[in-house]
């Protein structure tokens, strides 16, 4: 009987702590952005909002991998860091647009599906450096946390 009484005293606070942890973890999850990118004007406006101007040099149909691992893991981490919903499109078809950015050696890639932006990155073709859309490598610290 004493053992049951102990459980009754311990279980409610433990359940409350567990609920608090779960709710706090959900609150920390980033809200994914919905950025229109169906037209060239919308994609150019996105680039301009990030401080870039560019000219489209190619576009191609691609399929998003079903699992975000291997070489795609860092790209997926970058998109999560930028609050872009790439993971929601695993296994789906998308269009990848590549832009030459004005006054720089950088390129920008914008990945779209269903008329919205699901992935974006800048990179330097000569050395392979990958940047977020602000031109920073700060996101690389986040990639190791995923």
Claim to verify: residue 89 and residue 122 sit in the same structural domain: yes
pLDDT tens per residue, the chain (146 residues)?
555 545 444 444 444 444 444 444 444 556 889 999 999 999 999 999 999 999 999 999 999 999 988 878 889 999 998 999 999 999 999 999 999 999 999 999 999 999 999 999 999 998 888 888 888 776 566 554 44
Q: By the 8 A CB rule, do 63 and 13 touch? A: no
Claim to verify: residue 26 and residue 4 sit in the same structural domain: yes
Claim to verify: residue 80 and residue 125 sit in the same structural domain: yes
Claim to verify: residue 57 and residue 11 sit in the same structural domain: no
Claim to verify: residue 81 and residue 110 sit in the same structural domain: yes
Cβ-proximal residues to 72 (8 Å cutoff; 6+ apart), any chain? 65
Residue 15: predicted pLDDT: 40
Query: Structurally, how many domains does the chain consist of?
Result: 2
Claim to verify: residue 23 and residue 51 sit in the same structural domain: no
Q: By the 8 A CB rule, do 119 and 84 touch? A: yes
Instruction: Write down the pTM of the prediction.
Output: 0.75
3-state secondary structure of 38: coil
Claim to verify: residue 112 and residue 135 sit in the same structural domain: yes
Residue 107: predicted pLDDT: 96
Q: Which residues span the domain enclosing 14?
A: 1-30
Q: By the 8 A CB rule, do 131 and 121 touch? A: yes
Instruction: Assess if residue 35 is contained within a domain.
Output: no
- Angular region, 136: left φ>0, alpha ψ -120 to 50, beta rest: beta
Claim to verify: residue 88 and residue 113 sit in the same structural domain: yes
Instruction: Assess if residue 98 is contained within a domain.
Output: yes
Residue 68: predicted pLDDT: 86
């Amino acid at each position: 009987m004493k053992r049951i009484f102990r459980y009754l005293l311990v279980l409610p606070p433990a359940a409350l702590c567990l609920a608090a942890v779960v709710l706090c973890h959900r609150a920390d999850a980033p809200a994914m952005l919905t950025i229109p990118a169906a037209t060239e004007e919308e994609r150019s406006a996105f680039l301009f909002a990030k401080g870039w101007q560019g000219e489209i040099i190619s576009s191609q149909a691609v399929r998003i991998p079903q699992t975000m691992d291997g070489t795609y893991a860092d790209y997926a981490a970058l998109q999560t860091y930028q609050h872009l919903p790439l993971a929601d499109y695993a296994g789906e078809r998308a269009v990848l647009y590549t832009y030459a950015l004005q006054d720089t050696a950088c390129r920008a890639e914008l990945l779209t599906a269903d008329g919205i932006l699901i992935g974006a990155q800048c990179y330097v073709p000569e050395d392979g450096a990958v940047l977020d859309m602000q031109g920073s490598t700060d996101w690389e610290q986040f990639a190791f946390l995923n």
